[in-house]
């Protein structure tokens, strides 16, 4: 099957992407690692010794950043529908984080410790129909927010990828009703043509 013009262009851009090249040098599984690194430098989300949950963690670039910054007493628990190749100091649960059986596994791993940070870099598979893609992306962001509100310790933080478009303003209001402070970030590693943004919720309200 012949590659489309769009897929060829994407591959060319991907191969020449300086963040892709840097990730290969630094041993990160994805260029997304640099987005989290920049946001954490600014907002100080990852603190030594805390418990972090990564929703939609595969391939694991964000997990690597978190594990490197948590220290010996911190824990990161990664969840994804897709398998995750093992990573040092990362505990993985494969399944849908909305399902009771998956949440039971998470509770077991937590051993009574509270979650200090929930992170989500989830995005849907792109269909090319912008209205449908936006709706699916916002739905994933809403699911991540529901999880964070339900499971975060009071005062905890939440980082989520969203896309500018229909539903964004309503989502922003919802985050502001659950966190003391909400800020938007567009890290340098986020491509200019992408409508993605990252929302940081600080200080989860009780």
Which band of pLDDT confidence, cut at 50, 70 and 90, is reported for residue 133?
confident
Locus of tokens 């640099």: 34
Q: Is the pLDDT assigned to residue 191 strictly greater than 50?
A: yes
Tell how strand 179-185 and strand 196-204 pair up.
antiparallel
Residue 14: the pLDDT is 54
Q: Which of 109, 161, 181, 204 is an active site residue?
A: 161
Residues facing residue 193 across a β-bridge: none
The answer to whether 25 and 55 have CB atoms below 8 angstroms apart is no
Is residue 16 domain-resident?
no
- H and E: helices and strands count for the chain: 7, 7
CATH number for 154: 3.40.50.150
pLDDT tens for 90-122 read 999 999 998 999 999 999 999 999 999 999 998
DSSP string, 156-192: EEEEEEEESSTTHHHHHHHHHTTEEEEEEE--TTS-T
Binding residues for S-adenosyl-L-methionine: 60, 62, 80, 96, 121
Mean of per-residue pLDDT scores for the chain: 89
Is residue 9 situated within a structural domain?
A: no
Is 190:163 a contact under the CB 8 Å cutoff?
Answer: no
Instruction: Say what the pLDDT of residue 193 is.
Output: 73
Report the number of distinct structural domains present in the chain: 1
Q: Is residue 95 part of a domain?
A: yes
pLDDT in tens, 74-92: 999 999 999 999 999 999 9
161: annotated active-site residue:
yes
Q: Are 198 and 35 in contact (CB under 8 A)?
A: yes
Q: Which domain holds residue 173?
A: 32-204
pTM for the full model?
A: 0.88
| 49 is a domain residue | yes
């Amino acid at each position: 099957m012949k590659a489309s013009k769009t897929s060829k262009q994407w591959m060319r851009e991907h191969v020449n992407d300086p963040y892709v090249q840097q990730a290969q040098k630094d041993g990160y599984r994805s260029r997304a690692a640099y987005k989290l690194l920049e946001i954490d430098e600014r907002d100080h989300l990852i603190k030594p010794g805390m418990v972090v949950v990564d929703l939609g963690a595969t391939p694991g670039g964000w997990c690597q950043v978190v594990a490197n910054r948590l220290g010996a007493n911190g824990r990161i628990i990664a969840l994804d529908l897709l398998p995750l190749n093992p990573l040092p100091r990362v505990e993985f649960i494969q399944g849908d984080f909305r399902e009771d059986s998956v949440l039971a596994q998470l509770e077991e791993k937590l051993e009574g410790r509270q979650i200090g940070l929930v992170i989500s870099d989830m995005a849907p598979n792109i269909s090319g129909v912008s209205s449908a893609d936006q709706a699916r992306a916002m739905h994933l962001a809403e699911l991540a927010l529901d999880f964070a509100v339900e499971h975060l310790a009071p005062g905890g933080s939440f980082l989520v990828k969203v896309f500018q478009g229909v539903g964004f303003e309503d989502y922003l209001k919802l985050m502001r009703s659950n966190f003391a402070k909400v800020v938007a970030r567009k890290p340098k590693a986020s491509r200019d043509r992408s409508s993605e943004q990252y929302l940081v919720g600080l200080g989860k309200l009780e």
